[in-house]
Amino acid sequence: MTINLKNFLSDKTKMSKMGEFQNLKQIEGLEMSSVSADLYGNGRDDLSLFYFSKGANYATLTTTNSIISETIAWNNSSHKKSIKGLMVNTKNANTFTGKQGKESLDIIAKNLSRILTLKESKSEKGTYETVRIKDLIFASTGVIGEQFPVDQIKDALPALVEKLKTEHNKLFWLKVASGMMTTDTKPKVAYEEVIFGDELVKICGVAKGSGMIAPNLATMLSFIFTTADISSNLLRSLLKRAVANTFNAITVDSDQSTNDMVSLFSTRAIKIGQNLSLNDKLIQKFELSLKKLCLNLAKQIVVDGEGAKKFLTVKVINAKSLGSAKNIAFSIANSPLVKTAVAGEDPNWGRIIMGIGKSGEMIDSKKLKIKLGDFIIAENGKISDSYNEEKLREYMKWDSILIEVNLKLGSDAFECYTCDFTHDYIDINADYRN
């Protein structure tokens, strides 16, 4: 098996850096593939398929944008809690494509269900179940408003099914994740495992996202797979809780997509108990690992933000409410002035003050305490007596920057993640369709 290096090798990512990626493992009950439908015209992978021959329980959360893609509309109309296949295309969002976009999915679903059914009929299992159209869901990412390339995708479906593999090493996970990328510079993968008695439960995740990133769910696609046998209803509860401080805590440019989608799939390979709930210790143990994996993927999206050079954490503590803490954190994180100051390695803390104030939240400036890293920069309504411009300028050269705002008004807190704004962001988005 070879990887199409065009998918993810860039100035930011070299083959020598393969060690940066976790050693992901096989998920029993899952088959994967990725191929090129030549949507980009350069032969890179642009179609990915996740297939569950025995079916999988699943839960999905999608964008809160009032305009959604035809692929999300398709998924929403099925109301299914168990599926057999997910196909992902890049380059085209299938949004604002009207009748053409909807009918294209109908055509692709019919062809894909037929080819998968034929695959099952040729297997050595003896008996098989037909893969129905309603057993399939879709995800799309790319340019909004362009006609959906139905013919190119349809022609690539036989190869997509033919290349399905049950054995997944790190390289294969990277290949499939690369097939989902748009302006991403590298694939995003993560792995966790949980021990339940004598059983090893695996959790693997892939994601894409680089620009148009803001809550809710940012502009991203993320698909998480586990071998734990968990019901669809419980998966949904776990997923909603997991995204709250992960995928819903990131921003690159404050823009929210029409295509956001995060899904959690259970292949049901490992039985961990019956009638489980959020209060069960086994599920709580699983939830901790799930949240860790989601946070890993979410931070990878921010690190790979379009044109990003620095990772920025904004932490608001001792707020009067969670909503207030979250509002202030994002007010700072989404400020172009704060983000360009970080890019310029300038400790211009007045911009942080501005960001706090423009949130609209009630603030007692005399109680306010602001830190950059470990350095107190402002407190008691004025610049700190310990302020040292030289030390702060050295700190701003770091790749990872922390802004901490202590409101001293309550006990709630929220932490969000963003990146700097560089000229590269303008270059990428000014030339996005070329």
Q: Which three-class secondary structure state does DSSP give residue 284?
A: helix
CB 26 within 8 A of CB 203: no
Cα separation, 392 vs 350, in Å, equals 14
Q: Are strands 82-89 and 261-270 parallel, antiparallel or unpaired?
A: unpaired
Cα separation, 84 vs 54, in Å, equals 7
For the chain, the residue count is 434
Cα separation, 373 vs 391, in Å, equals 11
| Residues facing residue 376 across a β-bridge | 371
CB 409 within 8 A of CB 329: no
Cα separation, 307 vs 410, in Å, equals 37
Long-range contact pairs involving 349-352 (C-beta distance under 8 Å, separation at least 24):
349/377, 349/378, 352/403, 352/405
CB 84 within 8 A of CB 52: yes
Quote the tokens at residue 15.
């083959």
Among positive and negative, which fits the CA dihedral 346, 413, 309, 427? negative
The catalytic site residues sit at: 219
Q: What share of the chain is helix, strand, coil (3-state, %, to 5)?
A: 35, 25, 40
User: Angle 232-243/281-303 helices, nearest 10 degrees?
Assistant: 50
Cα separation, 337 vs 258, in Å, equals 26
CB 57 within 8 A of CB 231: yes
Q: Are strands 221-228 and 261-270 parallel, antiparallel or unpaired?
A: parallel
